[in-house]
Every structure is written in C-alpha cells, then in structure tokens.
Amino acid sequence: MTQAFGRVVVCGVGLIGGSFALGLKAAGMVREVVGIGRTRAALERAQALGVIDAISTDWAEALQGAELVLLAMPVGQMDTVMAAMAPHLKPGVLVTDAGSTKRDVVEVVYQRLREHLEYTVPAHPIAGAEKSGAEAARADLYRQRKVVLTPLAENKPDAIARVREAWAACGGDLAEMSPQEHDRVFAAVSHLPHLLAFGLVHEIAERANAEQLFNFAAGGFRDFTRIASSHPEMWRDICIANRHALLAELDTYLTELAWIRALLSKADGESLEKLFTDARDARDAWLAGRFNSEA
C-alpha cells in the first residue's frame, strides 16, 4: 500500500507542474500542494483553478514539512532555483524534476544539491501539448505516458521507489536510462522535430507571399507544424542544454536531406518511392506497436 505525501511543493505551476499536482490529487496521493514560482499572477491563477492549494514566494516557508518537491520550470532556470532551494532542504525531502533534458539537470544537481544527492531523482515525463500554463493542466496528462527517470548512483533505493510512486500515481509508465542516453534519444525523436517545425514556419512566415502560402496550407501542414506552437522559452532552454546531441542529430538529418536532394535532382522516382514506402511502413508499424528493427 503506497502512502500519500503530506505537503508537495511544485515549482513552476504551468502545464507540466500543474498536471503533476492534479494527478496526485486525483489519486488521493497528496494532502496539500504548495506552488512557488517567478510570476505571482500565474500562481494566483493556478490557485483559483484549484491546481494548487497555497502559494509561497519563499523556499524556507514552502519547504516547511514538505515531503516532495517537483521542479517544473524551463531547464534554464534549474541552476537559480536549486541554488535558492538548497539551503532550506532538510535531509529526506524528495526532489524530482520534469526537465526535458537530463545531462544538464544532473550537472546542476551535482553542483547545487551535493548534500542532497541521496534524495534527488531526476525525471522527464514524456507528455506535453502545444498549450502552456496552469489553465491547460489536466489530472490525466501523464496517463499511459512514459516517464523516464535518470537516477543518480547516490540515490537511496527508497527515494527512487517513492519518486516512482508519485509519477505512477499520475498514471505514468516508468522507464530508466542514463542521462546521456536520455538526451540522445530525445534529441532524435523530440528536440530535432521541434527545431524543424519551428524552422519551417519561421521561414514561410518571413516571405513576401506568406499570407498566400498560409491561405493554402491544409491539414498536413497543420499537423506537421503543431509543435511549432510550443513554448519558446522552454524550447530555447532545451535546445541550448542539449545542443551537442541536437547538433549531431541535425547533421544526420542534413545528410539524409542531401541524399533526398540528389534523388530529386536526378528524378530517381524508384528510389524515392522505396524511401517513402520504407518510411510509411516503419511509421505504421510503430503506431501498431509492432516496429521491429530486425524486420
């Protein structure tokens, strides 16, 4: 039988932090959620919506009696926030985060929370939407979504188990990886597609005939670019934090595009059709849950 958390502190009560709060509440896994963050107005909206129960602007106060802290700000703020939080963290208080990159977060943990490594279990819930803010938060955002933990060698087994319980209470499907592996995988399947979508929309919006182009853009364009409506600051931080893995992915993709460009140039329809067929088959197999590299 898992035991509920008493006080949980959520730093950054947007879509991600707010959905964690609502998920724990829906599961009866928390007594009180305290929100803390940069913007008073955002905290007040979250409180008015019932996403958090109380507002704090002070780590010493927020951490009074807290059992669990979720850091759910853009990853660029991890250093500042951990530095502010660290002096007030009592031994045993669990810390997890929802950062979309993990190498950089783990580095900051080793710098700022070095007295607290036993209890700090980095995490990345693979859920999101093009909407941001506590208004978009939902108790079921993490239901059947992967939540990747990148535990530290120093973590107490009990701390990992309790952090798993919190994410599992929100409905998450837990996995574990090293921070390095995490960042390489998500550079490929998440960070690069975001960069490509932002780039395409930006490039079209800058043109003299942008209005005509958008006027004839249809459902394919809408879905392809959905992720270009994502949170700019969050994605700035992800791209900067994971830029080495992301540059490697971008270069691999540029090589693919150079090859496709050559096929187009010489009007090699047969090779293009094979490429398209292989891509369609792989995607359809993935959606059907039966992709197999050996196939």
Contacts with a second copy in 192-221 (CB under 8 A)? Answer: 192-221
- Rule CB under 8 A: choose which of 6, 65, 87, 269 binds a second copy: 269
Q: Which range in 5-13, 60-68, 164-172, 225-233 contacts a second copy by CB under 8 A? A: 225-233
- Residue closer to a second copy by CB (options 110, 259) is 259
Stretch that binds a second copy, among 13-21, 36-44, 57-65, 245-253 (CB under 8 A): 245-253
Residue number with CB closer to a second copy (83 or 189): 189
Q: Bridge partners of 60? A: none
- Residue 21 CB, shortest distance to a second copy, in Å, is 21
Does residue 30 bind a second copy (CB under 8 A)? no
110 binds a second copy (CB under 8 A): no
What is d(CA 184, CA 182) in angstroms, rounded to the nearest whole number?
6
Query: Is residue 264 a contact point for a second copy (CB under 8 A)?
Result: yes
The end-to-end CA distance of the chain, in Å, is 42
Stretch that binds a second copy, among 17-25, 34-42, 47-55, 239-247 (CB under 8 A): 239-247
**# of chain residues touching a second copy (CB under 8 A):** 92
> Which residue has 């459902």 as its token pair?
219
SS3 148: strand
Q: Is 22 exposed, middle or buried (0-12, 13-18, 19+ CB in 10 A)?
A: buried
- Is residue 248 close enough to count as binding a second copy by CB under 8 A? no
Q: Which residues is 96 bridged to in the sheet?
A: 70, 121
> Is 239 near a second copy (CB under 8 A)?
yes
Which of 45, 49, 76, 79 touches a second copy (CB under 8 A)?
Answer: 76
DSSP state of 89: P
- Pairing status of strand 5-11 against strand 30-36: parallel
User: Each residue of 70-89: b (16+ CB within 10 Å) or e?
Assistant: bbbbbbbbbeebbebbbeeb
Q: Considering only residues 132-151, where is the footprint of a second copy by CB under 8 A?
A: 145-146, 148
How many Å apart are CA 241 and CA 249, to the nearest integer?
A: 14
